[in-house]
A and B are shown apart, each in its own frame.
Chain A
Amino acid sequence: MNPALLAFLKKEFIQALRDKRMRLILFVVPVVQMMVFGLALSNEIKNVRLAVQAVPNDRLAHKIGERAAESGWFHLVPADDAEPFELIRTGRADAVLVAPPGGLTRALARQSGEAQVLVDATNAIKARVIENYLNAVLYRVLRDENPTRAPEAAVTFDVRVLYNPTLETSAYLVPGVMGLILCLVTILLSSMSMAREREMGTFETLIAAPVAPWELFLGKTMPFMILGLADVPLMIALGVGGFHVPLRGPLWALFLAAAVFVGTTVFIGTLISTFAKNQQQAMMGSFLFLFPAILLSGVMAPLENIPAAVVPLSWLNPLRFFVSLTRQVMLKGTIGPFYWTNLAALGLLGAAAATASVQRFRRTL
């Protein structure tokens, strides 16, 4: 192996692993972030407090309440004959089912009537989910009560959820978070290390030596690709072992995607560093890239929610493609045209990042 590259590998590994903060960024931050995202950032809403406001002999209204509690999403809180709105306002309940005057049971017998549901929508997402859950419960109860006259008896959906049948959000989030962490670690590592050389003056040592620009460039990028890839098995183990995220596809497909992705992000990090005079500027520059990259990646919010005008921007986002790839490989497991087109797109971005950073790097020598 080229002795200059070997020297760089040794030096960067020693520096990265000796520095306490770097060790933290490399090995502790990924684990903590996976935990936080996997456990806390969940779209599932449990323990919704539901109050049923109905006369005691209104069998149907209370049955809906019981069914809701049985589903596991709700637990019942006593209505205490309070004003329904008061229950929400004072925070004693998240949702209140208010039976019509005379009761739901009689309304059903009459084949007409309306029940009111009050939902606390200070958290809009939560309110939407509660509404959907309650609708489903109501539908079930009505069908049980009146099998012959089920409301939409003509056509019913038999929905089968594939790949993530229990709709575990961690299965969806964890592969995305893996990409997010990998992106963060490699961009910070590569941009800060180069900026550090400039800040400390050691850059002079590098350029005073008779090394070719490509040797310098590879010497300042390769070590971080390897360090970044070292995080991949750690995160896969945590995702599969800790969060029971399935790994249906082959490992090589995951590592191939990770290698292309890490290459791309390290080149971007190096590109950022060519604009930075010190580590602080490199950090700022990195976050200038990272925030939009994370928002436009589909890790947190579905890509479909991105406004049309911003969509082309997401095509320039390597994280977007990598997240699609990890989900594809881990959850679906099929290595088909979807995998290869996303990988090709990622590769194109990588090539563009490499070209741009080589150009800038040469100019700053």
Chain B
Amino acid sequence: MNAVEVSELTVRFDSFTAVDRITFAVGVGEIFGFLGANGAGKTTTIRVLTGLLSPTEGRVRVAGRSFADGARTIKSRVGYMSQRFTLYDDLTVSENLAFTSGLRKIPPAVSAERIQRLLRFVGFNHSPSALVRDLPGGLKQDVSLVAALLHDPDIVFLDEPTAGVSPAARSKFWALIRGLAREGKTIFVTTHHMDEAEECGRIALMRAGRIIALDSPAELKAQSFPDPLLEIEWTAGAPAGWRESLLERGAASVVPYGLHHHVMVNNRAAWDRFVGEHTGRLTVRTIAPSLEDVFIRLVEGADR
């Protein structure tokens, strides 16, 4: 059985369609990445899957529960770490966790043991009686994660969990996410960081309320770039109009990347002639496409 099953899910606010007939499933124990620009419908989808928002149309099953069973049965099985900071900064770490335990009606003995274990799991080495507002950003995220895990959920939804966190804290946080997945928890995560997306088992790319691509990072790269991707650099200045002539003669795309350009070739003979014409002024390397290349291509494709 899948942890999350969504079919033809649509969410409308008045006349605005935030999520438009999306269908996907997430397997148990998977790390599922959810990508897309702000406003693409990621957070709305997560709010449905965590029982906060009723779908306008479509079917949703989360941890075997559907909205027909009541939103609360969904809420009791999922953990949610919202994009916004959801701890009380005028309460201490232990007061925050005690409040969450009480709110979720976890028996005190169970919650005491879990708080201990989870704080150890995230490597929290600060005093639990410190006010949350006095903690550094990374530690706040750790405590938020503990709060989201207190009721031992089957699925954990993390909405941009590493936004505004230092790179060191980010990589540590991802080690925790992998640890949770190994324990058998399903992780559903949104991010804007491509290196984080690479960590996911599968990723879905959302655009304007629709899922425009869904697969493993490797598979997405292979599908989007059937032809080799080349990185070129003009060592002695680029001739005027080269991009246009290259696109006419046999390149599927030419995308600038800093001082370089990434070129996707679909007519090898034409490409070889082009390189021949510019020998000495052009260095060419074959590269593996990054997820960023993939998304630029996918989004361009969707726009066309």
Chain B hits for A7, CB < 8 A? 98-99, 101-103
Please list 5 pairs of residues, one from A and one from B, whose beta carbons are closer than 8 Å in the complex, sorted by A's number: A4-B105, A201-B82, A208-B82, A209-B100, A211-B104
In the complex, A11 Cα to B51 Cα: how many Å? Answer: 24
Q: Chain B contacts of A8 at CB under 8 A?
A: 99, 102-103
Contacts of B85 in A (CB 8 A): 200-201
Interface hit among A14-22, A54-62, A111-119: A14-22
Tell whether, in the assembled complex, residue B91 and residue A11 are in contact, meaning their CB atoms are under 8 Å apart: yes
User: A205's contact among B86, B95, B101, by CB below 8 Å, is which?
Assistant: B86
Which of A4, A14, A210 meets B91, CB within 8 Å? A14
Contact B84 A204, beta carbon cutoff 8 Å: yes
B147 CB contacts on chain A under 8 angstroms: 205
Is the beta-carbon distance between A11 and B86 smaller than 8 angstroms?
Answer: no
Taking Cβ atoms with an 8 Å cutoff, the residues of B that contact A are: 50-52, 72-73, 75-76, 80, 82, 84-91, 95, 98-105, 147
Query: Within the assembled complex, what's the spacing in Å between the Cα atoms of A8 and B101?
Result: 11
- In the complex, what residues of A have CB within 8 A of residue B98's CB? 7, 10
Q: Known A200-B85, A210-B76; judge A10-B100 contact (CB<8 A).
A: no
Docked CA distance A85–B119 (Å)? 84
Instruction: Quote the shortest CB–CB distance from B30 to chain A (angstroms).
Output: 21
Interface of A is mostly: helix
Asked whether B88 lies within 8 Å of A11 as measured between CB atoms, the reply is: yes
Q: CB within 8 Å of B: which of A133-183?
A: none
> Contact string, A70-101, partner B, CB cutoff 8 A, digits 1/0?
00000000000000000000000000000000
Task: State the Cβ distance, B217 to closest chain A Cβ, in Å.
Answer: 29
Task: Report the Cα distance A10→B108, complex, angstroms.
Answer: 14
Do residues B52 and A208 form an inter-chain contact, with CB atoms below 8 A?
Answer: yes
A210 touches B102 (CB 8 A): no
Smallest CB separation, A214 vs chain B (Å): 12
Return chain B residues, CB-CB under 8 Å to A207: 52
A41 interfacial contact with B, CB 8 Å: no
Residue of B nearest to A4 (CB): B103
The reply to whether B76 and A208 contact each other, CB–CB distance below 8 Å, is no
Cβ distance A2 to chain B, nearest Cβ, rounded Å: 8
Task: Tell me if A18 and B50 are in contact (CB < 8 A).
Answer: no
Question: Quick check: A208 and B50 within 8 Å, CB to CB?
Answer: yes
Least CB distance, A206 to chain B, in whole angstroms: 7
Report chain B residues within 8 Å CB of A205: 82, 86-87, 100, 103, 147
A11, A19, A209: the one within 8 Å of B95 (CB) = A11
**How far does the Cβ of B264 sit from chain A's closest Cβ, in whole Å?**
42
User: A306 at the A/B interface (Cβ < 8 Å)?
Assistant: no
Chain B residues within an 8 Å CB radius of A43: none
Report B-chain residues with C-beta under 8 Å of the C-beta of A6. Answer: 102
Bound: A182/B161 CA distance, A: 42
Q: Is B82 in contact with A210, judged by CB distance below 8 angstroms?
A: no
A47 at the interface (CB under 8 A from B): no
Minimum-distance CB pairs A-B, first 7: A7-B102, A201-B84, A210-B75, A210-B76, A210-B72, A205-B86, A204-B82
Min CB gap B109→A, angstroms: 13
Q: Are A14 and B72 in contact (CB under 8 A)?
A: no
Q: Which of B84, B89, B103 contacts A211 (CB 8 A)?
A: B103
Q: Which residue of B lies closest to A207 (CB)?
A: B52
Contact B86–A209 (Cβ < 8 Å): no
Nearest chain A CB to B91 CB, angstrom units: 6
Q: In the assembly, what is the distance between CA of A18 and CA of B90, in Å? A: 8
- Bound: A292/B62 CA distance, A: 50
Q: Distance (Å) between the CB of B88 and the closest chain A CB?
A: 6
CB proximity of B66 to chain A, nearest CB, Å: 15
Most buried by B among A4, A202, A212: A202
Q: Tell me the bound Cα distance from A6 to B52 in angstroms.
A: 23
The contact string, 1 if C-beta is below 8 Å from chain B, for chain A 185-226, is 000000000000000111011111111100000000000000
B199 to chain A, nearest CB (A): 25
Chain A nearest CB from B76 CB (Å) reads 4
Give min CB distance, A187 to chain B, whole Å.
21
Q: Contact between B52 and A15 (Cβ–Cβ < 8 Å)?
A: no
Given A208-B75, A212-B72, A10 contacting B86 (CB threshold 8 A): no
Q: Of the candidates B52, B89, B101, B104, which one forms a contact with A200 in the assembled complex, judged by CB atoms under 8 Å apart?
A: B89
- A201 CB contacts on chain B under 8 angstroms: 82, 84-86
- Closest residue on chain A to residue B157 by CB atoms: A208
Q: How many angstroms from the CA of A8 to the CA of B95 in the assembled complex?
A: 11
Chain A residues, CB < 8 A from B95 = 10-11, 14
Considering the chains assembled together, what is the distance between the CA atoms of A7 and B147 in angstroms?
14
Name the A residues within 8 Å of B51 (CB-CB).
Answer: 208, 210
Q: Decide if A209 touches B88 in the complex (CB within 8 Å).
A: no
Which residues of chain B are near A18, meaning CB under 8 Å? 90
Chain A 1-51 residues near chain B, CB threshold 8 A = 3-4, 6-8, 10-11, 14-15, 18-19
Measured between alpha carbons, how far is A7 from B99 in the docked complex, in Å? 5
Complex contacts, B104 vs chain A, CB 8 Å: 4, 209-211
Cα distance A148–B105 in the bound complex, in angstroms: 87
